[in-house]
Amino acid sequence: MMDAMSFLGNSLIISLFIILLILVTQFNSFGKALIIMTEVAFSIIGVLLGMAIFNMDFSVIMMGVGIVALAGIVVRNGILMVEFTDHLRAGGTPVREAIIEAGRIRMTPVLLTATATILGLVPLAVGFNIDFESLLTHGDPKIFFGGDSVSFWGPLSWTIVFGLSFATFITLVILPVMYLKGWQMKQWWDKKM
């Protein structure tokens, strides 16, 4: 277990560093990349809150893999918001209005992506099973919940479900505020210099 935790910890750090490097080159700004990366920290908080609220067991390996996968999904939603805000700002829209407009326009894609992912993972998380052989031969699907697959795939699925649920709220509410505060801080710093 310690080897698995060490390996997954190193994998998470390496993947976050690579994501940060890509974000810095994409936005040519360390501040914007840092704003997007804070979403990963918030999504991990969402995972831990969800696991604690529902009193679920921690599976180190599958939760670690789920957190690494979750980081990519969450960063993608943050990129959508920041990139569209930058696009509006490049068109001459003032910062505050660009943030509001980006939030309004990108809310639907962010919510649809998160909802589709969450709903797609719920059957895997609860162990929804159908016996297709019995369905095709006898017309009886023998639907049941649970089984061996839940003990393996359940922690990974619940990790992504809890983290993405929490991170979607962060993307739509906190990320625009962080973008505005980052811009205000940059303006303040430029005036000081």
pLDDT single digits (tens) 28-72: 989 899 999 998 889 999 999 999 999 998 888 888 889 888 988
> Is residue 29 assigned to a domain?
yes
State residue 45's pLDDT score: 93
Task: Give the integer Cα–Cα distance in Å for 171 and 134.
Answer: 44
Domain membership of residue 158 as a residue range: 11-192
| Reported pTM | 0.84
> Is residue 181 assigned to a domain?
yes
The answer to whether the beta carbons of residues 100 and 47 sit under 8 Å apart is: no
> Is residue 112 assigned to a domain?
yes
> Is residue 2 assigned to a domain?
no
User: 8-21 pLDDT, tens per residue?
Assistant: 888 888 988 998 99
State residue 143's pLDDT score: 86
Rounded alpha-carbon distances, angstroms, from residue 95 to 74, 85, 89, 100, 182: 23, 8, 6, 9, 11
Which residues, 6 or more positions from 135, have their beta carbon under 8 angstroms from its beta carbon? 141, 142
Joined together, the tokens standing for residue 12 give 């998470």
What CATH number does residue 173 fall under? 1.20.1640.10
> Is residue 152 assigned to a domain?
yes
Q: Is the pLDDT of residue 5 over 90?
A: no
Q: What percent of the chain has pLDDT over 90?
A: 49
> Is residue 48 assigned to a domain?
yes
Joined together, the tokens standing for residue 144 give 């049941």
State residue 160's pLDDT score: 94
Confidence bin at 90 (pLDDT 50/70/90): very high
Confidence bin at 128 (pLDDT 50/70/90): confident
State residue 147's pLDDT score: 77
State residue 34's pLDDT score: 92
> Is residue 6 assigned to a domain?
no
Mean pLDDT of 119-146: 88
State residue 183's pLDDT score: 92
* Total number of domains constituting the chain: 1
DSSP result, 33-79: HHHHHHHHHHHHHHHHHHHHHTTPPP-HHHHHHHHHHHHHHHHHHHH
